[in-house]
């Protein structure tokens, strides 16, 4: 039976121009968020038009992603996963993938889980010309008891929706996609290496697939999910990273797209990264503005820890504003540290801790390093979870950053241990979601 569970906005929250027609019903209807309709308003030329009720002319809702409709085609030529020790990040893919088409005329179509393979796309597709592409990075872990766990998948679903909306791609029911991803991951669970520290990297991606060269909202889209087994970031002990804080390039600016996980943000970072590598640094520290405000590092968020005069340790990270990607790991570190301050203690974190999201400029880092109040700096992200920084190149000089004897400062180590514990299920926590087959079809 049609389910209305996927409605994400009450009809009362829709503007009168987007209110649903009551004269017909469609399965798993999706409310027309203002954002979708915004793209339709310019009704000239080839702009996609929302479907309208043939009797009343009112805009009708389109079907959302419906996991119960999934078509499953088992891969008859399943491969043998390579030995875990041979895995290189993002080079090996599992036997299956998930695809879900969307069109402005008919909404989300039939989800399919099928053998991993090439996509066939017309060369005029919007994704190839104007970077209509947004993606997520999340991981599944295999626990010793055989269960497969995802880490905060709701956050990745919400971020994908947010990013998609920034480039006029369609919104979707995050819980429905999460259920389909769980089904996919369970089908390919043999690919999740059993060794500690290994995981399955999951890459949900949405692209614009309209065959047209005009710049405008894409009338068609494809959401697909592929999975890749990956090894631990620190296969042979923690390795701190070195950052080049360059003013030559800017990753993001206010009003731009830096806080969205869209493909267009990533290709332009490759040349700066190669230049940093030539100078002996592993990543770029992205600065913004005349005061050299710290924003992010490579593809990670950044945390800095300072000693305050009264002995309190401050853990600070730049505010998101609209130039920093809202990392799931960043959020998790902030939430864990704030819980610690409230009394839910995390072993290894300082007794007197202050957690701040605040603006930091390079001059503050230089000064704190000189007067000995700079304690540690680390990046956070799904791939490494935390990555200690031991050196920052800035204006022709290197700023040494303390890392401690383990190659990682005490805060970085404490949050790494707790996040890994949650991800693998060793530490029971609501953020760790056991993958379930709620889709049910074989």
Ligand X SMILES: Cc1ncc(COP(=O)(O)O)c(C=O)c1O
Contact residues toward ligand X (CB under 6 A) are 137, 296, 299-301, 325, 327-330, 380-382
- Nearest distance in Å: CB 300, ligand X: 5
Give the Cα separation of 109 and 383 in Å (integer): 31
Following DSSP, what letter does each residue of 365-385 receive, concatenated?
A: HHHHHHHT-EEEEEEEETTTE
What's the distance, Cα to Cα, between the start and end of the chain in Å?
20
- H helix and E strand count, the chain: 8, 21
DSSP tag of 52:
B
Q: How far is the CB of 384 from ligand X (least distance, A)?
A: 9
Contact 411, 401 (CB under 8 A): no
For residues 30 and 159, which CB has a smaller minimum distance to ligand X in the complex? 159
DSSP line for 339-351: HHHHT---TTS-S
Residue 250 CB burial class (10 angstroms; 0-12, 13-18, ≥19): middle
The rounded radius of gyration (Å) of the Cα atoms in the chain is 23
- Nearest approach, Cβ of residue 379 and ligand X (Å): 8
DSSP for 137-188?
Answer: -EEEEE-TTS-EEEESHHHHHHHHHHHHHHTTPPP--HHHHHHHHHHHHHHT
For 107: left if phi > 0, alpha if psi spans -120 to 50, otherwise beta; the answer is left
Helices 153-166 and 328-342: crossing angle in degrees, nearest 10, is 130
Smallest distance from ligand X to CB 266, Å: 7
Q: In this complex, which beta carbon is closest to ligand X, that of residue 182 or of residue 380?
A: 380
- Specify the residue, 50 or 379, whose C-beta has the smaller distance to ligand X: 379
Nearer to ligand X by Cβ, of 133 and 299: the residue is: 299
Smallest separation (angstroms) from ligand X to the CB of 381: 4
Of 51 and 137, which CB lies nearer to ligand X in the complex structure? 137
DSSP codes joined into one string, 193-252: --STT-EEEEEEEEEE--B--S-S--SEEEEEEEEEEE--S-TTS---EEEEEESS--S-
Residue with the shortest CB distance to ligand X:
327
For ligand X, give the closer residue by CB, 94 or 332: 332
Comparing CB distances to ligand X, the nearer of 108 and 201 is 201
Q: State the minimum distance, in angstroms, from the CB of residue 298 to ligand X.
A: 8
Residue nearer to ligand X on the CB measure, 296 or 364: 296
Q: At its nearest, how many Å lie between ligand X and the CB of residue 320? A: 10
Coil, strand or helix at 333: helix
Residue found by looking up tokens 């009362």 in the block: 12
Cβ proximity to ligand X, 126 vs 301, nearer residue: 301
| Tokens encoding 252 | 């993001």
Smallest gap from Cβ 386 to ligand X, in A, equals: 10
Rounded distance, CA 240 to CA 282, Å? 9
Q: Which residues does 22 contact at the CB level (< 8 Å), separation at least 6?
A: none
Shortest Å distance, C-beta 99 to ligand X: 22
Residue with smaller CB distance to ligand X, 302 or 368: 302
What's the min distance (Å) between Cβ of 433 and ligand X?
A: 15
For residue 406, what is the DSSP state? T
């Amino acid at each position: 039976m049609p389910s209305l569970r996927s409605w994400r906005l009450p009809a009362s929250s829709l503007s009168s121009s987007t209110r649903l027609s009551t004269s017909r019903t469609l399965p798993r209807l999706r409310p027309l968020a203002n954002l979708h309709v915004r793209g339709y308003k310019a009704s000239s030329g080839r702009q996609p038009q929302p479907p309208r009720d043939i009797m009343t002319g009112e805009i009708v809702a389109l079907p959302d992603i419906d996991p119960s409709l999934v078509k499953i085609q088992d891969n008859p030529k399943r491969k043998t996963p390579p030995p875990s020790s041979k895995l290189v990040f993002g080079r090996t893919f599992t036997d299956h993938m998930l695809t879900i088409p969307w069109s402005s005329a008919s909404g989300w179509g039939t989800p399919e889980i099928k053998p991993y393979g090439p996509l066939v796309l017309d060369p005029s597709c919007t994704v190839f010309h104007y970077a209509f592409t947004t993606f997520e990075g999340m991981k599944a872990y295999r626990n010793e008891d055989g269960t497969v766990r995802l880490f905060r998948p709701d956050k990745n679903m919400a971020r994908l929706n947010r990013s998609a909306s920034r480039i006029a791609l369609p919104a979707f029911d995050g819980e429905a996609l999460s259920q389909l991803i769980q089904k996919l991951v369970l089908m390919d669970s043999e690919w999740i290496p059993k060794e500690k520290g290994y995981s399955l990297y999951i890459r949900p991606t949405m692209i614009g697939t309209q065959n047209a060269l005009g710049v405008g909202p894409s009338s068609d889209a494809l959401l697909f999910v592929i999975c890749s087994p990956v090894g631990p970031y620190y296969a042979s002990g923690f390795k701190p990273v070195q950052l080049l804080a360059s003013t030559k390039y800017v990753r993001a600016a206010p009003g731009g797209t830096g806080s969205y996980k869209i493909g267009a943000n990533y290709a332009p970072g490759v040349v700066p990264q190669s230049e940093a590598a030539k100078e002996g640094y592993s990543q770029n520290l992205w600065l913004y503005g005349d005061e050299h405000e710290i924003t992010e590092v490579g593809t990670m968020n950044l945390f800095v820890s300072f000693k305050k005069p009264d002995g309190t340790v401050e853990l600070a990270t730049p505010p998101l504003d609209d130039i920093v990607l809202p990392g799931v790991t960043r959020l998790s570190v902030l939430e864990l540290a704030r819980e610690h301050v409230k009394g839910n203690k995390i072993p290894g974190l300082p007794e007197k801790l202050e957690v701040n999201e605040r603006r930091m400029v390079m001059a503050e880092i230089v000064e704190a390093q000189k007067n000995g109040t700079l304690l540690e700096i680390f990046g956070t992200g799904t791939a490494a979870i935390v990555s200690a920084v031991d050196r920052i190149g800035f204006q022709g000089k290197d700023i040494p950053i303390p890392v401690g004897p383990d190659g990682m400062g005490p805060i970085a180590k404490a949050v790494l241990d707790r996040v890994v514990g949650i991800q693998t299920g060793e530490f029971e926590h609501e953020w760790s979601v056991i993958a379930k087959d709620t889709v049910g079809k074989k």
